């Protein structure tokens, strides 16, 4: 076996001893310390340190993971447990917050609904009026002798009743009984007899009317609804001849009838429709011989001046 010669490093190439370096530290004995290695190995195992590449096997890796998972004193286990607990606390707090918000929203909705219902009920009670006695009103417009055979028709009560008073559709009456209707949106005239000139003119939206040129004031305004003129029923009662109006409270039927009479041949003749107010005209002259002595005594006579003819 060849013997290796160890060079003499006590002298340099020139035969001089090397100068010691005062800054360099003396080399420590790097011999392995068995006790220190065991302590380090135990510490790494307790901390769950990774195994060397040579020691890693599937069974050892599973065993290390299991030891790491079941060791309650492991910092990793404590950190995971603390993190999981914090997550559960935050989740619980979020659930409580969401539940509180849901209950608050539900309370606001219920409160708003109840307040709305109460306000609506109060408003309806405030504006509520007693039901009209004419609700479900029915109407008949015909000749007098046809009333029994004619069936009443239902009408819109709101149009025929105003402020508790009955109204009549003057337009429907004129079409049924042959009146002549003229005028504009402010004045509407109805001519009942073209030969005699009997007529009435209504100022729309007011209680004023003119009967044969004489101005009257009705107890209610005339109203135009859906191209029809409605006037108070009292107008027919007070000023119209030849038309009778009846209201049956039991059957809630308003009847507008034109008077008829049976002639000698057994047929029905229709009465003339005119007004109680007549047109004003010049007074007829009265002879003094038609006056009584009492009136003559109160009269003042104006002598007539005779004019002499020229010669």
3-state helix, strand, coil in the chain (%, to 5): 35, 25, 40
Name the burial class of residue 223, with classes exposed (0-12), middle (13-18) and buried (19+) by CB atoms within 10 angstroms of its CB. middle
Dump pLDDT digits (tens) for 45-92.
555 445 565 566 777 766 666 665 555 666 666 777 777 777 788 888
* Cβ atoms 166, 254 nearer than 8 A: yes
Q: What is the pLDDT of residue 146?
A: 93
Dump pLDDT digits (tens) for 207-254.
999 999 999 999 999 999 999 999 999 999 999 999 999 999 999 999
Percent of the chain with pLDDT over 90: 41
Q: Bigger pLDDT: 35 or 193?
A: 193
Say whether pLDDT at 123 is over 70.
yes
Cα distance between residue 40 and residue 46, in whole Å: 10
Per-residue pLDDT, averaged over 109-116, amounts to: 90
């Amino acid at each position: 076996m060849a013997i290796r010669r160890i060079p003499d490093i006590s002298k340099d190439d020139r035969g001089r001893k090397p100068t010691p370096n005062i800054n360099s530290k003396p080399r420590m004995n790097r011999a392995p310390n068995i006790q220190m290695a065991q302590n380090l190995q135990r510490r790494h195992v307790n901390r769950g340190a990774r195994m060397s590449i040579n020691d890693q096997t599937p069974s050892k890796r599973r065993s290390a993971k299991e030891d790491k998972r079941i060791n309650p004193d492991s910092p990793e286990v404590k950190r995971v447990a603390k993190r999981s607990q914090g997550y559960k606390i935050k989740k619980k707090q979020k659930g409580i917050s969401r539940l509180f918000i849901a209950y608050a929203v539900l309370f606001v909705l219920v409160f708003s609904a109840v307040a709305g219902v109460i306000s609506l009920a109060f408003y309806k009670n405030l504006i509520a009026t007693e039901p009209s006695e004419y609700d479900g009103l029915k109407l008949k417009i015909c000749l007098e002798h046809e009333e029994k055979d004619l069936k009443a028709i239902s009408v819109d009560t709101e149009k025929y009743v105003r402020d508790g008073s009955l109204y009549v559709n003057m337009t429907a009456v004129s079409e049924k009984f042959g009146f002549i209707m003229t005028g504009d949106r402010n004045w509407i005239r109805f001519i009942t007899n073209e030969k005699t000139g009997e007529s009435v003119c209504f100022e729309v939206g007011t209680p004023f009317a003119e009967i044969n040129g004489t101005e009257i004031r009705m107890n209610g305004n005339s109203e135009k609804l859906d191209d029809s003129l409605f006037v108070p029923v009292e107008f027919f009662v007070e000023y119209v001849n030849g038309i009778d109006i009846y209201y049956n409270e039991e059957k809630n039927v308003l009847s507008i009838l034109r008077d008829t009479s049976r002639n000698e041949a057994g047929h029905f003749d229709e009465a003339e429709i005119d007004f109680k107010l007549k047109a004003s005209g010049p007074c007829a002259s009265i002879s003094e011989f038609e006056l009584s002595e009492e009136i003559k005594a109160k009269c003042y006579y104006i002598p007539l001046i005779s004019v002499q003819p020229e010669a």
